[in-house]
Structure 1
């Protein structure tokens, strides 16, 4: 009995009976027998059957789930943000945090945002992303909440910078 069989049984345990039987039916008899023993053992030990996250399998369900997810409001705010706004929030953050944010996407402004980082920083972010860093859902939700909360603070700073530039160019006509 391999660890792979145990992991597969743990993954199957939350499925509904019909789905579980469909998956088991597609496997060779030897694997099916091992998995059925593990599933029976889990049931005998009183493991709670947690329903499968259908959003992980079906993008249409994922869209509905995103609207009701704990990070749904923060995700909507961040998805509507421009690359400049996101950069204003992420510019001073470590490369690992920026990479983790990008992995929570996809983000409409992602390509433009990544291009805004200096090449060395962009390389560090890419290296972290290629390392396959993942985070627990609660950490991802907390990250998105914190970034979305910081986003309004980034917008006035960007406006102030533009206003300062406008005042400067108005005062110095040759700078236009």
Structure 2
């Protein structure tokens, strides 16, 4: 079928040629995804390759924490106040000792523990997953997905720097 529209053939050919030249130039200059991300940091690919957990994590007073000698009930109050579905368990020196999550709470209720009297160290998970602050948010999202968890502790040199929640990352437009 011919519409006698000669410019459509030449414009299509020009687009093909331009695209081929662009790809050849990118390959010749060894242009990688990270180079693209630097030029387009707010685009989807740019955010995937540049956004770190340091930029989206909860810090300081936003971090839910209770001392190891407090009760499960105290942990529940802290979880409700901070709204992250978990609380960190720390020593007097702010050393990370564990994590108490919504799942731990359900298991505590199911096993009949007295939430007001039982110390949190009985119900906490003693091996919380941690990542350094320079971890890419996309990598943190993959860790959460594989581990089937919603939060990661951000730590540097064994010191708590923050907490990154699944929603912190999703709010920034990243998905798996």
Interval containing the TM-score (normalised by the shorter chain): under 0.3
Structure ranking higher in helix proportion = 1
TM-score, length-normalised on structure 2? 0.24
TM-score, length-normalised on structure 1? 0.24
Structure ranking higher in strand proportion = 2
